[in-house]
Structure 1
Amino acid sequence: MRLVELEGQSPVWMSELEKIKLKAKGVNFLDITDAQDLGLQFKALRTSSFPSPNAADKVEPILKTLSTKGPEENLKKFSSFRTRYYRSDTGRESQQWLLSKISEVTADNASKSLRKLISVKEFPHSWGQNSIIVRINGTSTSDDGVVVIGAHQDSTNMWPFLPAPGADDDGSGSVTILEAYRGLIAADFRPVRAVEFHWYSAEEGGLLGSQAVAKAYEISSTNVLAMSQFDMTAWVKRGTREEVGIITDFVDPDLTTFNKELVDKYLNIPYVETKCGYACSDHASWRKAGYPSSFTIESSFENSNKNIHSVNDRIDISDEFSFSHMLEFSKLAVAFAVELAGWSE
């Protein structure tokens, strides 16, 4: 039995099958069984100020080095697992592959001295598929702030025992932020404040992985300045304008405004405001813990990929699946990191 929280309702106990049925109906929820006290340590949301973007001289050279080559190669492999469902054997195998790929990217792109600032670690979970946290330590001895960029690594079919390639949901976000990480370390990025890249397990199970991580950070009083979630970054619906969907509900409004400014300054496409509802991705875990969080998606919610949670969430299903569109989100992640974490000379 699991304790499940839905918007505006008291938590209720239900079985895993009942959770699956909720998912099949498109109902968003948090499985709070192991994180019932998330957010209780802080009675009010933390507030942070976000200055207008002003680091173009640092950001723009990195943007020119970003490519679709790595994301395409990585996503072909990442979506080839039968499923990345968090309770499955292949879910565990896909996580181990991702961990090894991140380590490979680090070894191939970070200078020897920069590698001393980087840690690549698993955040363990009882269900076997662990979350992954990569940290680039800040150089400041007085600023303990952390900037977090996240995506979820797991996938699911509407019925979890069926295949779930999860190319867009959220294989796209996973390789999008990996490309941003590669570009940053290849540029010898040395942040003033720490920057972390997170790949969460079990988002599809009710934000389980991100709740566990956020709870650990809350307990340790980690000073998370801002968190940005990348969930589905590949789909451009035929006949629509290519754009970045900026989620405006259940997010930090000031950080969301900052994200809009980043899109205007650094991306080649515009943004559109959109909503996705309660607990629709891992940013919700951080918001519940009291931290400023934001969420960007591939388009307005109504124009997003309708093949998710099925065998058809593949990279070859349609020309609407676009790696060049994903590249715009890698640019956004780079800008988010540099603008908020600073660059130590």
Structure 2
Amino acid sequence: MGVRRRLAAVIPLAVAEIVATVSAHARGTGSPDAETVYIVTARQTYDAAGLLAREATAWKDSLGRELVIAQLDPLQIGALSRHVHEREQRCGGFFAFASRPEAEAFIVRDRTAEAIALPLGGLYTIDNQATVGPWLAQVSEANIHATITTLSAFRNRYYASPYGRQAAEWIRDSWQALAAERDDATVELFQGCSNCSTQPSVILTVRGAELPDEVVVLGGHLDSITSAFSVPVPDLEQPAPGADDDASGIATLTEIIRISLASGWKPRRTVKFMGYAAEEVGLRGSAAIANRFRDDGINVIGVLQLDMTNYRQNVGRDLRIVSDFSNTALTTYFAELFDAYLVPLGGVRSALACNYGCSDHASWTSAGFPAGMVFEAGRPQNPNNPWDLGAFQSIHSTADTLANMGNSASNSVRFAQFGLAFAGELGKTYDGAEDAIFSDDFEVVVD
């Protein structure tokens, strides 16, 4: 249950008049960011961003973490977005809603503490080497590079621009082509997000042959953004290549899909691959899907998020496992999978805390599902900057290009191998045998 108290009553009159003028102008343009947005963010982020909000109230989530609900006009949304992107050097950082009741309901229904503590170790086994092992050598850097090239060639993939929808449709068509020979696979555009403008999410579902009601999810976000969009009236023609953030994640997912489906793999559990809409403006697409799954009682047993997989500079690691806002048993499983499959290939892992709501896995965690994220190797972190996550410093700019990552997708190869291990081991392989070798006594249902 969220705890609420008043933070600030009214911003100064002069500022209020400026904001009102900006908002009125934006509404007159029909801009998708014209209307007031209600955000939920960490109190630390809210304070550091220096926001002035007409109605800001303090809350706590199920972990006791200090949060803020604030009514923001476009000017303040831009300031918050720039702070998260430029100072905290990460994606996400806040959840966005169309109304205060929606934002309050989100905190009241928060299941983060429950999701983190779910004891699912009995489900997280490693015994499917016969399927996973042959997959790993098939990962193609050239394929991942080609997908990143195509996605970053869209003028932008901003959620409210026509290019944002075109990119989603291109991903749908690409995934449909990879699943064309499979009668157990379907691809859809998920359009059940009320604040994602015209950008849908993309979902490819491979139905489980034995335990179809147990669901495994692998996802990444398909939209892109630059600081030029963080203004009251964004120019929807602004370039935002987003090669690392997050064309690399979608390209990695696409390679996982290609290899696993081409092998003839039939999972025992249902496996869903997702390209989320509107992550960069408040985790909107993933929140809509996770909340729908919660309301429908869908039994999701594990979620892997791939957000930025391709940047590595002067570090000895290949991949970092995000420790916060993640299910404890699942992050332990991530480490075990990495050690079983990637360490023998020379892989090196480390850990990372990425702060509140840093990507789409946070939507699943807040909805009560076990979720986690792996993040790119990055660069050495600045010990004098507590916000520095060692991320690619060109994210959210026109310089987020393959050219600025050595014109190579080699760093994403490890992530594709890891994702294949996750999908194969948690989805398992159906061989027609009646004596299932793993238990079906576990159920994760969020009511």
Higher deviation after alignment, 44-53 or 262-271: 44-53
> Which of 170, 183, 192 is the equivalent residue of 2:268?
192
- 2:39 maps to 1:4: yes
Shift in Å, 1:229:
0.2
> Match for residue 177 of structure 1?
253
Distance, in Å, in 1 between the alignment partners of 2:179 and 2:283 is 27
Shift in Å, 1:51:
3.3
Runs of 4+ displaced beyond 6 Å = none
**CA root-mean-square deviation:** 1.8
Unpaired segments ≥5 residues, structure 1: none
- 2:231 maps to 1:144: no
What SS class does the counterpart of residue 9 from structure 1 fall into? strand
**Percentage identity across aligned positions?**
31
- 2:278 maps to 1:202: yes
The change in CA–CA distance for 1:246 and 1:322 in structure 2 (over 3 A counts) is farther
Unpaired segments ≥5 residues, structure 2: 1-35, 43-65, 230-234, 379-387, 432-447
Distance, in Å, in 2 between the alignment partners of 1:32 and 1:261 is 37
2:40–2:68 Cα contact (<8 Å) kept: yes
Higher deviation after alignment, 131-140 or 3-12: 3-12
Higher deviation after alignment, 90-99 or 296-305: 296-305
2:216–2:300 Cα contact (<8 Å) kept: yes
- 2:198 maps to 1:128: yes
- 2:375 maps to 1:317: no
Shift in Å, 1:47:
4.2
> Which of 86, 94, 97 is the equivalent residue of 1:29?
94
Alignment of 1:187-336 (within 5 A): 187-237=263-313, 239-267=314-342, 268=345, 269-299=347-377, 302-319=389-406, 322-336=408-422
Shift in Å, 1:249:
1.2
The change in CA–CA distance for 1:156 and 1:59 in structure 2 (over 3 A counts) is same
- 2:77 maps to 1:19: yes
Name the TM-score, length of structure 2 as normaliser: 0.72
| Counterpart code for 2:331 | T
- 2:124 maps to 1:51: yes
2:144–2:252 Cα contact (<8 Å) kept: yes
* Deviation sequence 1:171-194 (CA, Å, 0-9, x none): 000110110011100111111110
Distance, in Å, in 2 between the alignment partners of 1:223 and 1:318 is 38
What SS class does the counterpart of residue 128 from structure 1 fall into? coil
Higher relative contact order (CA 8 A, sep 6+): 1
Distance, in Å, in 2 between the alignment partners of 1:41 and 1:90 is 33
Shift in Å, 1:244:
0.5
Paired residues, number:
336
1:41–1:218 Cα contact (<8 Å) kept: no
Return the index of the structure with the highest Cα Rg. 2
Distance, in Å, in 1 between the alignment partners of 2:392 and 2:125 is 32
> Which of 180, 183, 195 is the equivalent residue of 1:116?
183
Higher deviation after alignment, 84-93 or 209-218: 84-93
| Counterpart code for 1:72 | H
* Deviation sequence 1:258-286 (CA, Å, 0-9, x none): 00111111123111111111001000000
The change in CA–CA distance for 1:225 and 1:99 in structure 2 (over 3 A counts) is same
Higher deviation after alignment, 184-193 or 264-273: 264-273
Shift in Å, 1:143:
5.5
